[in-house]
C-alpha cells in the first residue's frame, strides 16, 4: 500500500457526501424540479452574497463547456492560458458546445494570464469585421493548472480589462475550494466582485462522486443554459443526486475544510520532497498541487514505494505532478 497523488479525482466520495446519498436513496422526487436543487441555488446565492443561477452537472468538462457556450457564439473566440484544462484536456468540448467557437491559448508565468498578456493578444481588428472571429470570453482557472493562485486583485484586474474590452470572464473553479481556503477570502471577492460572470464550481475534486455547479452571476442567463444542458445530455432525471452531493459539501463548511486539508497536505508534501537532494520546484505550491523536478533515481524510488504521481512531460522529462485530496 502506498499513497496516490496522481489526481484529486482518485478518491471516491468523502463521508459527508456518502452519508447524504445514503439518506436520500430511499426517497422520491419529481424529474427536474426537486427541492434539493432549489435549496442548492438558494445556498449558493447566500454563499456568494449575490443572486445566482446554479445548474448542477456531473462533470467539470460539462460545466466548462456550458459556461463557455453561454458567452461565446459559434463565431466567437475565447482567450485562455495555453495550459488551460479547457484547451488541453477536454477534447474540444468547448468548441463542440459553442458550435465551433475558437479557443486561443496564451502564454503566462505560473499558468496565469495577465491584463498585459491579454492586451498584447487581443484581436483589435475583429470589431465589426466579418472576416475575423470575435473575442468574447476570457477563461481563467483558479487554482491554476500548475497549482498556483490568482489573488483577488489579479482576478479583478483581468475582470476590469474584460469589461473595458467587451469580453465576459469565466472562472474554471474545479479547485475553487482550494483557492478560497488558501487565499482566505470570500467566494464573492474571488468571483463577481472581481468581474467574474460565470464560474464552474468544482465538487468532484472536493469530495463528491460526480458533481459540479455551473454558477451564473446573471440569473437571466439560466434559461438558455438549461436548454443547452438538456440538449447536451447533462440534465439528470434524478437531479437531486447532484444537488445532494453539492449540498453536503457547500451547505456547511465541508468544502472549505476539504480544500484546506488538501492544501495543507500539499504544502507538507512539497516541503518534505524539497528537502531531498536534487528536487526543484516548477511552480510554487499554493493550493493542492505540487509540481517538481525530481531526479530519476528518486522518481523510481517513490514509484517502488507505492507513491502515485503523474509525469508532467511538458515541463521536462524529470517533471512530476502530485495532487492531494
Residues 82-141 contacting a second copy, CB under 8 A: 88-93, 95-103, 125, 130-134
d(CA 301, CA 276): 12
Nearest to 191 by CA among 140, 116, 246, 235: 140
Where does 110-186 have alpha helices with state H? 115-121, 152-165, 176-183
**Axis-axis angle for helices 240-250, 254-274 (nearest 10):** 70
Cβ closest to a second copy, residue 4 vs residue 154: 4
Closest approach, Cβ 229 to a second copy, in A, equals 7
d(CA 277, CA 275): 6
CA 245 to chain centre: 17
Per-residue CA distances from 178 to 96, 186, 255, 287, 293 (Å): 29, 12, 9, 6, 23
Within residues 263-282, the interface with a second copy by CB under 8 A covers none
Closest approach, Cβ 84 to a second copy, in A, equals 13
**CA count, 13 A, side-chain hemisphere, 131:** 2
Grid cell at residue 140: 481563467
From candidates 184, 233, 304, 305, binder to a second copy by CB under 8 A = 233
From candidates 59, 114, 151, 165, binder to a second copy by CB under 8 A = 59
Cβ closest to a second copy, residue 12 vs residue 277: 12
Q: Quick check: 103 and 138 in contact, CB under 8 A?
A: no
Q: Which stretch binds a second copy (CB under 8 A): 137-145, 186-194, 235-243, 262-270?
A: 235-243
Cβ neighbours of residue 109 closer than 8 Å, sequence gap 6 or more: none
Closest approach, Cβ 265 to a second copy, in A, equals 14
Q: Quick check: 79 and 138 in contact, CB under 8 A?
A: yes
Closest approach, Cβ 41 to a second copy, in A, equals 16
Cβ closest to a second copy, residue 166 vs residue 313: 313
Cβ closest to a second copy, residue 104 vs residue 256: 104
From candidates 81, 175, 234, 299, binder to a second copy by CB under 8 A = 234
Cβ closest to a second copy, residue 152 vs residue 324: 324
Within residues 152-171, the interface with a second copy by CB under 8 A covers none
d(CA 249, CA 246): 5
Number of residues that bind a second copy (CB under 8 A): 76
Closest approach, Cβ 286 to a second copy, in A, equals 22
Cβ closest to a second copy, residue 143 vs residue 152: 143
d(CA 197, CA 180): 17
Within residues 188-227, the interface with a second copy by CB under 8 A covers 204-205, 209-210, 226-227
From candidates 47, 52, 54, 58, binder to a second copy by CB under 8 A = 58
Cβ closest to a second copy, residue 30 vs residue 301: 30
Amino acid at each position: 500500500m502506498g499513497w496516490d497523488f496522481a489526481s484529486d479525482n482518485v478518491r471516491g466520495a468523502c463521508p459527508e457526501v456518502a452519508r447524504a446519498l445514503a439518506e436520500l436513496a430511499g426517497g422520491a422526487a419529481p424529474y427536474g424540479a426537486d427541492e434539493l436543487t432549489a435549496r442548492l441555488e438558494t445556498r449558493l446565492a447566500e454563499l456568494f452574497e449575490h443572486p445566482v443561477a446554479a445548474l448542477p452537472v456531473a462533470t467539470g468538462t460539462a460545466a466548462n463547456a456550458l459556461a463557455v457556450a453561454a458567452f461565446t457564439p459559434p463565431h466567437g473566440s475565447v482567450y485562455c492560458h495555453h495550459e488551460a484544462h479547457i484547451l488541453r484536456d477536454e477534447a474540444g468540448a468547448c468548441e463542440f458546445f459553442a458550435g465551433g467557437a475558437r479557443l486561443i491559448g496564451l502564454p503566462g508565468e505560473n499558468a496565469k494570464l495577465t491584463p498585459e498578456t491579454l492586451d498584447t493578444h487581443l484581436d483589435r481588428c475583429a470589431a465589426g469585421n466579418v472576416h475575423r472571429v470575435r473575442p468574447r470570453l476570457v477563461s481563467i482557472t483558479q487554482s491554476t493548472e500548475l497549482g498556483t493562485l490568482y489573488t483577488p486583485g489579479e482576478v479583478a484586474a483581468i475582470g476590469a480589462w474584460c469589461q473595458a474590452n467587451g469580453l465576459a470572464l469565466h472562472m474554471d473553479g474545479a479547485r475553487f475550494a482550494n483557492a478560497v481556503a488558501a487565499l482566505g477570502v470570500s467566494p464573492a471577492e474571488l468571483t463577481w466582485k472581481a468581474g467574474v460572470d460565470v464560474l464552474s464550481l468544482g465538487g468532484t475534486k472536493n469530495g463528491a462522486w460526480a458533481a459540479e455547479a455551473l454558477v451564473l452571476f446573471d440569473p437571466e442567463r439560466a434559461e438558455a443554459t438549461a436548454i443547452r444542458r438538456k440538449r447536451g445530455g447533462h440534465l439528470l432525471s434524478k437531479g437531486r443526486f447532484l444537488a445532494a452531493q453539492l449540498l453536503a459539501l457547500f451547505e456547511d463548511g465541508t468544502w472549505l475544510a476539504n480544500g484546506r486539508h488538501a492544501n495543507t497536505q500539499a504544502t507538507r508534501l512539497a516541503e518534505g520532497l524539497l528537502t531531498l537532494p536534487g528536487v526543484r520546484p516548477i511552480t510554487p505550491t499554493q493550493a493542492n498541487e505540487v509540481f517538481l523536478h525530481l531526479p530519476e533515481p528518486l522518481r523510481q524510488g517513490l514509484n517502488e514505494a507505492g507513491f502515485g504521481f503523474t509525469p508532467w512531460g511538458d515541463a521536462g522529462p524529470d517533471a512530476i505532478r502530485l495532487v492531494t485530496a
